[in-house]
A and B are shown apart, each in its own frame.
Chain A
Amino acid sequence: MPDSIIKYNNFYFRYKKNPNYQLENINLEINKNKFILLAGETGSGKTTLIKSMNGLIPQFYAGFYKGNVIVNGKDTVETPISELSTEIGIVFQNPENQLISLDVEHEIAFGLENIGVPKEIMEKRIKECVKVTEIEHLLDKAPFELSGGEQQRVAIASILALEPKVLIMDEPTALLDPYMAQKIINLLKKIQLDQKITIIISEHRLDLIMPFVDEIILINEGKIIEHDLKENVINGNNFDKIHINKPLIYSIARRLKEKNLYKDKIPASIPEAMEFFEKWV
Protein backbone atom coordinates (compact mmCIF):
# COMPACT_ATOMS: atom_id res chain seq x y z
CA MET A 1 0.00 0.00 0.00
CA PRO A 2 1.37 3.41 -0.95
CA ASP A 3 0.31 4.92 2.35
CA SER A 4 2.57 2.89 4.58
CA ILE A 5 5.11 4.74 6.71
CA ILE A 6 6.69 1.61 8.16
CA LYS A 7 7.00 -1.59 6.21
CA TYR A 8 8.57 -4.80 7.47
CA ASN A 9 9.65 -7.32 4.83
CA ASN A 10 10.38 -10.76 6.24
CA PHE A 11 12.38 -9.23 9.06
CA TYR A 12 14.25 -11.43 11.54
CA PHE A 13 16.45 -10.34 14.40
CA ARG A 14 18.43 -12.03 17.14
CA TYR A 15 20.98 -10.60 19.55
CA LYS A 16 24.56 -11.69 19.00
CA LYS A 17 24.87 -14.19 21.83
CA ASN A 18 21.32 -15.46 21.64
CA PRO A 19 20.61 -18.42 19.35
CA ASN A 20 16.88 -17.69 19.38
CA TYR A 21 15.29 -15.06 17.20
CA GLN A 22 13.67 -12.23 19.16
CA LEU A 23 11.74 -11.23 16.05
CA GLU A 24 10.74 -13.86 13.50
CA ASN A 25 9.52 -13.28 10.00
CA ILE A 26 7.92 -9.94 10.68
CA ASN A 27 5.72 -8.66 7.89
CA LEU A 28 3.95 -5.53 8.92
CA GLU A 29 2.61 -2.33 7.39
CA ILE A 30 1.93 0.77 9.46
CA ASN A 31 -0.14 3.47 7.80
CA LYS A 32 -0.77 7.15 8.44
CA ASN A 33 -3.08 8.63 11.02
CA LYS A 34 -3.92 5.51 12.99
CA PHE A 35 -4.14 4.73 16.71
CA ILE A 36 -2.59 1.31 17.06
CA LEU A 37 -2.38 -1.00 20.05
CA LEU A 38 0.58 -3.36 20.28
CA ALA A 39 -0.36 -6.17 22.63
CA GLY A 40 1.38 -9.32 23.79
CA GLU A 41 2.53 -11.21 26.85
CA THR A 42 5.63 -10.06 28.68
CA GLY A 43 8.67 -11.23 26.78
CA SER A 44 6.77 -11.57 23.51
CA GLY A 45 9.01 -9.07 21.73
CA LYS A 46 7.03 -5.82 21.95
CA THR A 47 9.96 -3.69 23.01
CA THR A 48 12.29 -5.37 20.51
CA LEU A 49 9.80 -4.65 17.75
CA ILE A 50 9.55 -1.03 18.82
CA LYS A 51 13.30 -0.61 18.82
CA SER A 52 13.49 -2.00 15.31
CA MET A 53 11.24 0.76 14.04
CA ASN A 54 13.79 3.55 14.27
CA GLY A 55 16.95 1.62 13.58
CA LEU A 56 18.11 1.10 17.17
CA ILE A 57 17.84 -2.49 16.15
CA PRO A 58 20.05 -3.50 14.41
CA GLN A 59 22.31 -0.43 14.45
CA PHE A 60 22.65 0.24 18.17
CA TYR A 61 22.09 -3.32 19.36
CA ALA A 62 24.42 -5.69 17.59
CA GLY A 63 22.89 -8.84 16.28
CA PHE A 64 21.95 -10.86 13.24
CA TYR A 65 19.11 -9.81 11.02
CA LYS A 66 17.38 -10.89 7.83
CA GLY A 67 15.01 -8.98 5.61
CA ASN A 68 14.49 -5.25 5.97
CA VAL A 69 12.46 -2.48 7.52
CA ILE A 70 11.60 0.55 5.39
CA VAL A 71 10.58 3.77 7.12
CA ASN A 72 9.12 6.39 4.79
CA GLY A 73 11.22 4.99 1.98
CA LYS A 74 14.41 4.73 4.07
CA ASP A 75 16.06 1.47 5.07
CA THR A 76 16.61 1.21 8.82
CA VAL A 77 20.03 -0.37 8.37
CA GLU A 78 21.43 2.08 5.87
CA THR A 79 19.95 5.29 7.20
CA PRO A 80 21.52 6.83 10.31
CA ILE A 81 19.34 6.65 13.42
CA SER A 82 19.55 10.42 13.72
CA GLU A 83 17.74 10.74 10.40
CA LEU A 84 15.20 8.01 11.19
CA SER A 85 14.43 9.84 14.44
CA THR A 86 12.82 12.63 12.47
CA GLU A 87 10.36 10.11 11.04
CA ILE A 88 9.78 7.82 14.01
CA GLY A 89 9.64 9.11 17.57
CA ILE A 90 9.87 6.73 20.52
CA VAL A 91 9.04 7.43 24.16
CA PHE A 92 10.53 4.57 26.15
CA GLN A 93 9.29 2.88 29.27
CA ASN A 94 10.88 4.97 31.97
CA PRO A 95 10.61 8.66 31.08
CA GLU A 96 13.11 9.60 33.77
CA ASN A 97 15.96 8.06 31.81
CA GLN A 98 15.03 10.03 28.74
CA LEU A 99 15.01 13.44 30.33
CA ILE A 100 18.59 14.59 30.18
CA SER A 101 18.35 18.35 30.51
CA LEU A 102 18.23 20.45 33.59
CA ASP A 103 15.17 22.37 32.58
CA VAL A 104 12.09 21.44 30.56
CA GLU A 105 12.46 24.13 27.92
CA HIS A 106 15.94 22.95 27.04
CA GLU A 107 14.74 19.35 27.06
CA ILE A 108 12.30 20.09 24.28
CA ALA A 109 14.91 22.07 22.36
CA PHE A 110 17.47 19.26 22.60
CA GLY A 111 16.33 17.19 19.63
CA LEU A 112 16.04 20.30 17.48
CA GLU A 113 19.54 21.42 18.44
CA ASN A 114 20.86 18.04 17.36
CA ILE A 115 19.47 18.33 13.85
CA GLY A 116 20.59 21.92 13.46
CA VAL A 117 17.26 23.72 13.37
CA PRO A 118 17.70 27.53 13.39
CA LYS A 119 16.78 29.25 16.63
CA GLU A 120 13.64 31.04 15.40
CA ILE A 121 12.14 27.81 14.12
CA MET A 122 13.11 26.09 17.36
CA GLU A 123 11.17 28.66 19.33
CA LYS A 124 8.12 28.21 17.17
CA ARG A 125 8.15 24.41 17.37
CA ILE A 126 8.73 24.42 21.11
CA LYS A 127 5.77 26.74 21.58
CA GLU A 128 3.54 24.42 19.57
CA CYS A 129 4.57 21.25 21.38
CA VAL A 130 4.23 22.87 24.77
CA LYS A 131 0.72 23.97 23.88
CA VAL A 132 -0.33 20.53 22.65
CA THR A 133 1.00 18.76 25.75
CA GLU A 134 -0.22 21.49 28.12
CA ILE A 135 3.05 21.99 29.97
CA GLU A 136 3.44 25.78 29.78
CA HIS A 137 3.67 25.98 33.55
CA LEU A 138 6.59 23.55 33.73
CA LEU A 139 9.05 25.20 31.38
CA ASP A 140 11.70 26.24 33.90
CA LYS A 141 11.42 23.19 36.16
CA ALA A 142 14.02 20.43 36.31
CA PRO A 143 12.62 17.38 34.51
CA PHE A 144 13.61 14.84 37.12
CA GLU A 145 11.76 16.77 39.81
CA LEU A 146 8.44 16.41 38.00
CA SER A 147 5.73 13.87 38.73
CA GLY A 148 5.39 10.78 36.55
CA GLY A 149 2.54 12.20 34.50
CA GLU A 150 4.36 15.48 33.94
CA GLN A 151 7.52 13.65 32.90
CA GLN A 152 5.54 11.71 30.34
CA ARG A 153 4.18 14.92 28.87
CA VAL A 154 7.64 16.47 28.68
CA ALA A 155 9.00 13.35 27.00
CA ILE A 156 6.15 13.42 24.49
CA ALA A 157 6.69 17.13 23.81
CA SER A 158 10.41 16.64 23.29
CA ILE A 159 9.72 13.96 20.67
CA LEU A 160 6.88 15.84 18.97
CA ALA A 161 9.28 18.73 18.44
CA LEU A 162 11.06 16.61 15.84
CA GLU A 163 7.73 16.31 13.95
CA PRO A 164 7.80 12.55 13.50
CA LYS A 165 5.20 10.76 11.40
CA VAL A 166 4.84 8.04 13.98
CA LEU A 167 4.91 8.37 17.76
CA ILE A 168 5.56 5.14 19.61
CA MET A 169 4.91 4.79 23.35
CA ASP A 170 6.33 1.79 25.22
CA GLU A 171 4.02 1.09 28.18
CA PRO A 172 3.26 4.78 28.87
CA THR A 173 0.90 4.19 31.78
CA ALA A 174 3.04 1.74 33.72
CA LEU A 175 4.15 4.13 36.45
CA LEU A 176 1.08 6.33 36.45
CA ASP A 177 -1.95 6.27 38.71
CA PRO A 178 -5.21 5.45 36.90
CA TYR A 179 -6.46 9.02 36.54
CA MET A 180 -3.14 10.21 35.08
CA ALA A 181 -3.06 7.14 32.87
CA GLN A 182 -6.45 8.04 31.43
CA LYS A 183 -5.33 11.63 30.87
CA ILE A 184 -2.22 10.59 28.98
CA ILE A 185 -4.20 8.24 26.76
CA ASN A 186 -6.72 11.01 26.07
CA LEU A 187 -3.84 13.32 25.21
CA LEU A 188 -2.32 10.77 22.83
CA LYS A 189 -5.63 10.31 21.03
CA LYS A 190 -5.98 14.06 20.72
CA ILE A 191 -2.49 14.30 19.25
CA GLN A 192 -3.26 11.58 16.74
CA LEU A 193 -6.43 13.30 15.58
CA ASP A 194 -5.04 16.86 15.54
CA GLN A 195 -1.60 16.23 14.10
CA LYS A 196 -2.72 13.35 11.91
CA ILE A 197 0.23 11.22 12.96
CA THR A 198 0.16 7.53 13.76
CA ILE A 199 0.41 6.54 17.39
CA ILE A 200 1.51 3.04 18.39
CA ILE A 201 1.09 2.13 22.04
CA SER A 202 2.42 -0.97 23.71
CA GLU A 203 0.22 -1.54 26.73
CA HIS A 204 -0.82 -4.01 29.41
CA ARG A 205 -3.76 -1.97 30.73
CA LEU A 206 -6.12 -2.54 27.86
CA ASP A 207 -9.39 -1.37 29.43
CA LEU A 208 -8.33 2.29 29.44
CA ILE A 209 -7.09 2.34 25.88
CA MET A 210 -9.46 0.05 23.99
CA PRO A 211 -12.16 2.62 23.16
CA PHE A 212 -9.64 4.78 21.26
CA VAL A 213 -7.90 2.08 19.25
CA ASP A 214 -8.20 1.73 15.45
CA GLU A 215 -5.96 -1.28 14.82
CA ILE A 216 -4.41 -3.99 16.98
CA ILE A 217 -1.10 -5.78 16.45
CA LEU A 218 -0.80 -9.03 18.39
CA ILE A 219 2.69 -10.34 18.99
CA ASN A 220 3.59 -13.66 20.53
CA GLU A 221 7.03 -15.26 20.89
CA GLY A 222 8.55 -12.83 18.45
CA LYS A 223 6.00 -13.37 15.71
CA ILE A 224 3.16 -11.15 14.58
CA ILE A 225 0.13 -13.36 14.95
CA GLU A 226 -2.42 -10.80 13.87
CA HIS A 227 -2.62 -7.21 12.65
CA ASP A 228 -6.07 -5.97 11.80
CA LEU A 229 -8.83 -3.54 12.64
CA LYS A 230 -9.74 -3.60 16.31
CA GLU A 231 -13.12 -5.24 15.89
CA ASN A 232 -11.70 -8.03 13.80
CA VAL A 233 -8.96 -8.80 16.27
CA ILE A 234 -11.10 -8.83 19.38
CA ASN A 235 -13.62 -11.08 17.69
CA GLY A 236 -10.91 -13.46 16.57
CA ASN A 237 -9.42 -16.40 18.41
CA ASN A 238 -5.88 -15.14 18.83
CA PHE A 239 -6.92 -12.35 21.16
CA ASP A 240 -8.72 -14.85 23.32
CA LYS A 241 -5.85 -17.30 23.49
CA ILE A 242 -2.95 -15.08 24.54
CA HIS A 243 -2.53 -14.26 28.21
CA ILE A 244 -2.98 -10.50 28.11
CA ASN A 245 -5.08 -8.49 30.55
CA LYS A 246 -8.33 -8.33 28.64
CA PRO A 247 -10.88 -5.60 29.30
CA LEU A 248 -13.72 -6.65 31.58
CA ILE A 249 -16.35 -6.00 28.94
CA TYR A 250 -14.51 -8.36 26.59
CA SER A 251 -14.40 -11.21 29.07
CA ILE A 252 -18.07 -10.84 29.95
CA ALA A 253 -19.20 -10.65 26.33
CA ARG A 254 -17.03 -13.61 25.39
CA ARG A 255 -18.54 -15.83 28.07
CA LEU A 256 -22.05 -14.81 27.12
CA LYS A 257 -21.24 -15.49 23.48
CA GLU A 258 -20.05 -18.99 24.32
CA LYS A 259 -23.48 -19.66 25.80
CA ASN A 260 -25.11 -18.25 22.69
CA LEU A 261 -26.65 -15.42 24.63
CA TYR A 262 -24.65 -12.67 22.96
CA LYS A 263 -25.01 -12.45 19.23
CA ASP A 264 -23.32 -9.19 18.24
CA LYS A 265 -19.67 -8.45 17.74
CA ILE A 266 -17.69 -8.35 20.96
CA PRO A 267 -17.63 -4.77 22.23
CA ALA A 268 -14.47 -2.77 22.81
CA SER A 269 -16.07 -0.32 25.18
CA ILE A 270 -19.03 -0.04 27.50
CA PRO A 271 -21.07 2.20 25.15
CA GLU A 272 -20.62 -0.40 22.42
CA ALA A 273 -21.85 -3.07 24.80
CA MET A 274 -24.91 -0.98 25.64
CA GLU A 275 -25.90 -0.99 21.96
CA PHE A 276 -26.42 -4.71 22.30
CA PHE A 277 -28.08 -4.71 25.70
CA GLU A 278 -30.51 -1.97 24.77
CA LYS A 279 -32.26 -4.43 22.53
CA TRP A 280 -32.96 -6.63 25.52
CA VAL A 281 -34.49 -4.13 27.90
Chain B
Amino acid sequence: MIITINETPKIVIKNVYYTYANGTTALKNINLSVNEGELIGIMGMNGAGKTTLIRTLNGLIRPQKGNVYINGENIKSKNVGKLSKTVGIIFQNPNHQLFSNSVEDEIKFSLKNLNLSKSEVQGKTEMVLNTFNLGKYKERSPLTLSGGETKKLALASIVCRDPDILVFDEPTLGQDAKEIEFFTDLIKNEIKKRKTIVIVTHNIEFAIENVPRIILMANGEIIADGPTEELLTKEFLINKCSLVLPQITKFNTALNSIGIKCPKDIRFKNDMIIFLENYLQNKKVST
Protein backbone atom coordinates (compact mmCIF):
# COMPACT_ATOMS: atom_id res chain seq x y z
CA MET B 1 0.00 0.00 0.00
CA ILE B 2 1.50 3.33 -1.06
CA ILE B 3 0.93 6.31 1.18
CA THR B 4 1.51 9.65 -0.53
CA ILE B 5 3.11 11.88 2.06
CA ASN B 6 2.02 15.14 0.52
CA GLU B 7 -1.68 14.40 0.70
CA THR B 8 -3.81 15.64 3.58
CA PRO B 9 -5.32 12.63 5.30
CA LYS B 10 -8.99 12.12 4.51
CA ILE B 11 -10.02 11.67 8.13
CA VAL B 12 -8.21 13.08 11.14
CA ILE B 13 -9.45 12.67 14.68
CA LYS B 14 -7.42 14.60 17.23
CA ASN B 15 -7.59 14.18 21.01
CA VAL B 16 -11.29 13.46 20.99
CA TYR B 17 -13.18 12.86 24.21
CA TYR B 18 -16.87 12.11 24.52
CA THR B 19 -19.08 11.39 27.52
CA TYR B 20 -22.74 10.52 27.23
CA ALA B 21 -25.42 12.38 29.18
CA ASN B 22 -25.71 9.49 31.61
CA GLY B 23 -22.08 9.79 32.60
CA THR B 24 -20.40 6.99 30.64
CA THR B 25 -17.22 8.11 28.95
CA ALA B 26 -17.33 6.47 25.56
CA LEU B 27 -14.25 8.02 23.95
CA LYS B 28 -10.95 8.88 25.62
CA ASN B 29 -8.19 10.68 23.81
CA ILE B 30 -8.89 9.29 20.39
CA ASN B 31 -6.26 10.01 17.74
CA LEU B 32 -6.69 8.58 14.31
CA SER B 33 -5.58 9.41 10.79
CA VAL B 34 -6.91 7.73 7.67
CA ASN B 35 -5.70 8.45 4.14
CA GLU B 36 -7.79 8.54 1.02
CA GLY B 37 -8.34 5.11 -0.48
CA GLU B 38 -7.57 3.25 2.73
CA LEU B 39 -9.65 0.39 4.08
CA ILE B 40 -9.57 0.14 7.85
CA GLY B 41 -11.39 -2.00 10.36
CA ILE B 42 -12.43 -1.05 13.88
CA MET B 43 -12.67 -3.93 16.32
CA GLY B 44 -13.19 -4.33 20.02
CA MET B 45 -15.50 -5.49 22.73
CA ASN B 46 -19.15 -4.45 22.74
CA GLY B 47 -19.20 -1.15 24.56
CA ALA B 48 -15.61 -0.26 23.73
CA GLY B 49 -16.73 2.83 21.84
CA LYS B 50 -16.70 1.67 18.23
CA THR B 51 -20.17 2.92 17.29
CA THR B 52 -19.62 6.16 19.20
CA LEU B 53 -16.42 6.70 17.26
CA ILE B 54 -18.00 6.33 13.85
CA ARG B 55 -20.80 8.67 14.83
CA THR B 56 -18.27 11.44 15.31
CA LEU B 57 -17.42 11.21 11.62
CA ASN B 58 -20.68 12.67 10.36
CA GLY B 59 -21.54 14.89 13.26
CA LEU B 60 -24.15 12.72 14.97
CA ILE B 61 -21.90 12.93 17.97
CA ARG B 62 -20.01 16.12 18.73
CA PRO B 63 -16.96 15.55 20.92
CA GLN B 64 -16.70 17.61 24.08
CA LYS B 65 -12.96 17.85 23.64
CA GLY B 66 -10.84 17.53 20.54
CA ASN B 67 -11.62 17.90 16.85
CA VAL B 68 -12.61 15.89 13.82
CA TYR B 69 -11.33 16.89 10.37
CA ILE B 70 -12.74 15.56 7.12
CA ASN B 71 -10.85 16.54 3.97
CA GLY B 72 -8.73 18.81 6.12
CA GLU B 73 -11.68 20.85 7.40
CA ASN B 74 -12.94 20.91 10.96
CA ILE B 75 -16.47 19.54 10.90
CA LYS B 76 -17.53 21.31 14.07
CA SER B 77 -19.60 23.90 12.28
CA LYS B 78 -21.13 21.61 9.65
CA ASN B 79 -24.50 20.00 10.16
CA VAL B 80 -25.16 16.29 9.76
CA GLY B 81 -27.16 16.73 6.59
CA LYS B 82 -24.24 18.42 4.85
CA LEU B 83 -21.65 16.02 6.23
CA SER B 84 -23.68 13.03 5.11
CA LYS B 85 -22.83 13.96 1.53
CA THR B 86 -19.18 13.18 2.23
CA VAL B 87 -19.51 10.58 4.97
CA GLY B 88 -22.05 7.80 4.45
CA ILE B 89 -22.73 5.60 7.46
CA ILE B 90 -24.64 2.35 7.02
CA PHE B 91 -25.94 1.26 10.40
CA GLN B 92 -26.58 -2.26 11.62
CA ASN B 93 -30.35 -2.44 11.40
CA PRO B 94 -31.80 -1.72 7.96
CA ASN B 95 -35.30 -1.58 9.46
CA HIS B 96 -34.37 1.72 11.03
CA GLN B 97 -34.53 3.49 7.71
CA LEU B 98 -37.08 1.78 5.47
CA PHE B 99 -40.32 3.66 5.13
CA SER B 100 -41.12 4.38 1.48
CA ASN B 101 -43.90 2.92 -0.62
CA SER B 102 -41.49 1.21 -2.97
CA VAL B 103 -37.87 0.19 -3.18
CA GLU B 104 -37.44 2.74 -5.96
CA ASP B 105 -38.84 5.52 -3.78
CA GLU B 106 -36.52 4.49 -1.00
CA ILE B 107 -33.50 5.15 -3.20
CA LYS B 108 -35.00 8.38 -4.50
CA PHE B 109 -35.44 9.60 -0.94
CA SER B 110 -31.75 9.06 -0.34
CA LEU B 111 -30.94 11.16 -3.38
CA LYS B 112 -33.23 14.00 -2.38
CA ASN B 113 -30.86 16.46 -0.79
CA LEU B 114 -28.14 16.15 -3.40
CA ASN B 115 -29.60 18.76 -5.76
CA LEU B 116 -29.67 16.45 -8.74
CA SER B 117 -31.86 16.85 -11.79
CA LYS B 118 -34.79 14.51 -12.24
CA SER B 119 -33.05 12.56 -14.97
CA GLU B 120 -29.90 12.21 -12.88
CA VAL B 121 -31.98 10.85 -9.99
CA GLN B 122 -33.70 8.37 -12.30
CA GLY B 123 -30.37 7.32 -13.78
CA LYS B 124 -28.62 6.82 -10.48
CA THR B 125 -31.60 4.92 -9.08
CA GLU B 126 -31.67 2.45 -11.96
CA MET B 127 -27.92 2.00 -11.80
CA VAL B 128 -27.77 1.29 -8.12
CA LEU B 129 -30.76 -1.06 -8.23
CA ASN B 130 -28.97 -3.01 -10.95
CA THR B 131 -25.68 -3.14 -9.10
CA PHE B 132 -27.42 -4.53 -6.05
CA ASN B 133 -29.68 -6.94 -7.95
CA LEU B 134 -32.75 -5.21 -6.55
CA GLY B 135 -34.20 -4.22 -9.92
CA LYS B 136 -36.87 -6.91 -9.75
CA TYR B 137 -38.17 -5.43 -6.50
CA LYS B 138 -38.39 -1.90 -7.86
CA GLU B 139 -42.10 -1.44 -7.23
CA ARG B 140 -42.38 -3.57 -4.13
CA SER B 141 -42.68 -2.20 -0.65
CA PRO B 142 -39.36 -2.44 1.18
CA LEU B 143 -41.22 -3.97 4.10
CA THR B 144 -41.89 -7.13 2.09
CA LEU B 145 -38.26 -7.87 1.36
CA SER B 146 -36.33 -10.60 3.11
CA GLY B 147 -33.63 -9.88 5.69
CA GLY B 148 -30.73 -10.18 3.28
CA GLU B 149 -32.40 -7.96 0.71
CA THR B 150 -33.24 -5.22 3.21
CA LYS B 151 -29.58 -5.14 4.16
CA LYS B 152 -28.69 -4.69 0.50
CA LEU B 153 -31.27 -1.95 0.15
CA ALA B 154 -29.74 -0.13 3.12
CA LEU B 155 -26.32 -0.39 1.50
CA ALA B 156 -27.72 0.77 -1.83
CA SER B 157 -29.39 3.79 -0.32
CA ILE B 158 -26.06 5.14 0.95
CA VAL B 159 -23.83 3.99 -1.89
CA CYS B 160 -26.07 5.74 -4.42
CA ARG B 161 -25.16 9.06 -2.81
CA ASP B 162 -21.55 8.36 -3.76
CA PRO B 163 -19.96 9.70 -0.58
CA ASP B 164 -16.16 9.85 -0.43
CA ILE B 165 -16.09 7.99 2.85
CA LEU B 166 -18.13 4.86 3.51
CA VAL B 167 -18.60 3.63 7.05
CA PHE B 168 -20.16 0.22 7.74
CA ASP B 169 -21.42 -0.88 11.14
CA GLU B 170 -21.30 -4.69 11.33
CA PRO B 171 -21.96 -5.35 7.65
CA THR B 172 -21.56 -9.14 7.86
CA LEU B 173 -24.02 -9.66 10.73
CA GLY B 174 -26.36 -12.54 10.01
CA GLN B 175 -25.14 -12.90 6.44
CA ASP B 176 -24.37 -16.14 4.67
CA ALA B 177 -21.37 -16.78 2.40
CA LYS B 178 -23.04 -15.50 -0.76
CA GLU B 179 -24.01 -12.21 0.85
CA ILE B 180 -20.58 -11.71 2.42
CA GLU B 181 -19.02 -12.31 -0.99
CA PHE B 182 -21.29 -9.66 -2.48
CA PHE B 183 -20.26 -7.21 0.20
CA THR B 184 -16.57 -7.99 -0.25
CA ASP B 185 -16.84 -7.32 -3.99
CA LEU B 186 -18.68 -4.09 -3.28
CA ILE B 187 -15.95 -2.68 -1.08
CA LYS B 188 -13.23 -3.81 -3.48
CA ASN B 189 -15.05 -1.84 -6.17
CA GLU B 190 -15.34 1.22 -4.02
CA ILE B 191 -11.65 1.08 -3.13
CA LYS B 192 -10.88 1.06 -6.84
CA LYS B 193 -12.83 4.32 -7.05
CA ARG B 194 -10.50 5.79 -4.39
CA LYS B 195 -13.17 5.77 -1.69
CA THR B 196 -12.11 5.61 1.94
CA ILE B 197 -13.73 2.77 3.85
CA VAL B 198 -14.16 2.18 7.58
CA ILE B 199 -15.68 -1.08 8.79
CA VAL B 200 -16.74 -1.80 12.35
CA THR B 201 -16.82 -5.54 12.70
CA HIS B 202 -16.64 -8.54 14.98
CA ASN B 203 -15.91 -10.83 12.10
CA ILE B 204 -12.28 -11.80 12.55
CA GLU B 205 -12.23 -14.15 9.58
CA PHE B 206 -13.52 -11.38 7.35
CA ALA B 207 -11.00 -8.92 8.76
CA ILE B 208 -8.00 -11.12 8.27
CA GLU B 209 -8.95 -11.95 4.69
CA ASN B 210 -9.97 -8.50 3.49
CA VAL B 211 -8.92 -5.62 5.73
CA PRO B 212 -5.33 -4.31 5.63
CA ARG B 213 -5.36 -2.12 8.74
CA ILE B 214 -7.10 -2.55 12.08
CA ILE B 215 -7.88 -0.20 14.96
CA LEU B 216 -8.39 -2.04 18.24
CA MET B 217 -10.50 -0.36 20.90
CA ALA B 218 -11.02 -1.12 24.57
CA ASN B 219 -12.76 1.01 27.20
CA GLY B 220 -13.11 3.99 24.92
CA GLU B 221 -9.45 4.10 23.93
CA ILE B 222 -7.55 3.01 20.87
CA ILE B 223 -5.09 0.45 22.16
CA ALA B 224 -3.56 -0.55 18.85
CA ASP B 225 -3.49 0.67 15.26
CA GLY B 226 -1.66 -1.21 12.57
CA PRO B 227 -1.50 -3.99 10.00
CA THR B 228 -4.17 -6.63 10.54
CA GLU B 229 -1.86 -9.65 10.48
CA GLU B 230 0.30 -8.13 13.20
CA LEU B 231 -2.50 -7.08 15.55
CA LEU B 232 -4.88 -9.99 15.27
CA THR B 233 -2.17 -12.52 15.98
CA LYS B 234 -1.07 -10.99 19.28
CA GLU B 235 -2.77 -12.83 22.11
CA PHE B 236 -2.59 -10.09 24.70
CA LEU B 237 -4.35 -7.66 22.34
CA ILE B 238 -6.94 -10.26 21.42
CA ASN B 239 -7.69 -10.88 25.07
CA LYS B 240 -8.04 -7.19 25.88
CA CYS B 241 -10.63 -6.76 23.15
CA SER B 242 -12.76 -9.83 23.77
CA LEU B 243 -11.77 -11.29 20.40
CA VAL B 244 -10.40 -14.69 19.47
CA LEU B 245 -7.44 -15.59 17.29
CA PRO B 246 -8.25 -15.98 13.61
CA GLN B 247 -8.70 -19.58 12.45
CA ILE B 248 -5.70 -19.31 10.19
CA THR B 249 -3.48 -18.31 13.09
CA LYS B 250 -4.68 -21.20 15.24
CA PHE B 251 -4.16 -23.57 12.34
CA ASN B 252 -0.72 -22.18 11.69
CA THR B 253 0.29 -22.58 15.32
CA ALA B 254 -1.06 -26.14 15.40
CA LEU B 255 0.91 -27.11 12.29
CA ASN B 256 4.08 -25.65 13.70
CA SER B 257 3.55 -27.42 16.98
CA ILE B 258 3.56 -30.81 15.29
CA GLY B 259 6.62 -30.00 13.27
CA ILE B 260 5.30 -28.66 9.98
CA LYS B 261 7.26 -25.46 9.50
CA CYS B 262 4.47 -23.25 8.22
CA PRO B 263 5.67 -19.64 7.73
CA LYS B 264 4.25 -17.46 10.47
CA ASP B 265 3.27 -14.69 8.12
CA ILE B 266 0.78 -16.68 6.08
CA ARG B 267 -2.43 -14.75 6.29
CA PHE B 268 -4.74 -15.69 3.47
CA LYS B 269 -6.58 -18.97 3.05
CA ASN B 270 -5.27 -19.40 -0.49
CA ASP B 271 -1.67 -18.93 0.62
CA MET B 272 -2.14 -21.62 3.25
CA ILE B 273 -3.60 -23.95 0.68
CA ILE B 274 -0.69 -23.35 -1.68
CA PHE B 275 1.82 -23.96 1.11
CA LEU B 276 0.16 -27.21 2.14
CA GLU B 277 -0.17 -28.36 -1.46
CA ASN B 278 3.55 -27.87 -1.96
CA TYR B 279 4.40 -29.47 1.37
CA LEU B 280 2.28 -32.54 0.75
CA GLN B 281 3.46 -32.89 -2.87
CA ASN B 282 7.06 -32.86 -1.67
CA LYS B 283 6.32 -35.37 1.02
CA LYS B 284 4.55 -37.59 -1.48
CA VAL B 285 7.46 -37.38 -3.84
CA SER B 286 9.99 -38.21 -1.17
CA THR B 287 8.08 -41.28 0.12
Contact = CB atoms under 8 A, between A and B. Distances in A.
Interface of A: 41-43, 147-149, 171, 174-180, 182, 204, 207-208, 243-249, 251-252, 255-256, 259, 261-262, 270-271, 273-274, 277-278, 280-281
Size bin of chain B's contact surface: 35 or more
B251 interface: yes
A168 B205 CA distance: 26
Interface in B158-197: 173-180
Give the interface SS of chain B, mostly helix, strand, loop or mixed: helix
A118 B248 CA distance: 52
A245 B46 contact: no
B47 A42 contact: no
Given A182-B244, A273-B251, A280-B260, 18 more contacts: A42-B146, A42-B175, A149-B46, A174-B174, A177-B45, A179-B243, A179-B244, A243-B178, A244-B176, A245-B177, A248-B251, A251-B269, A270-B250, A274-B255, A278-B258, A280-B279, A280-B283, A281-B258
Question: Which 4 residue pairs of A and B lie closest in terms of their CB atoms, listed nearest first?
Answer: A248-B247, A243-B178, A179-B242, A261-B280
Interface stretch (B3-11, B69-77, B113-121, B270-278): B270-278
A182 to B, nearest CB: 6
B147 interface: yes
B254 A274 contact: yes
Contact of A42 (B174, B251, B255): B174
B180 A245 contact: yes
Contacts of A204: 174-176
B23 interface: no
Nearest to A177: B242
B177 A246 contact: yes
A252 B202 contact: no
Given A204-B176, A261-B281, A274-B258, A252 B45 contact: no
B176 A178 contact: no
A207 to B, nearest CB: 5
Given A245-B176, A277-B255, A281-B258, A178 B244 contact: yes
Given A248-B248, A270-B251, A256 B269 contact: no
A261 B284 contact: yes
A43 B243 CA distance: 28
B176 A243 contact: yes
Nearest to B243: A178
Nearest to B245: A178
B259 interface: yes
B176 A256 contact: no
A212 to B, nearest CB: 15
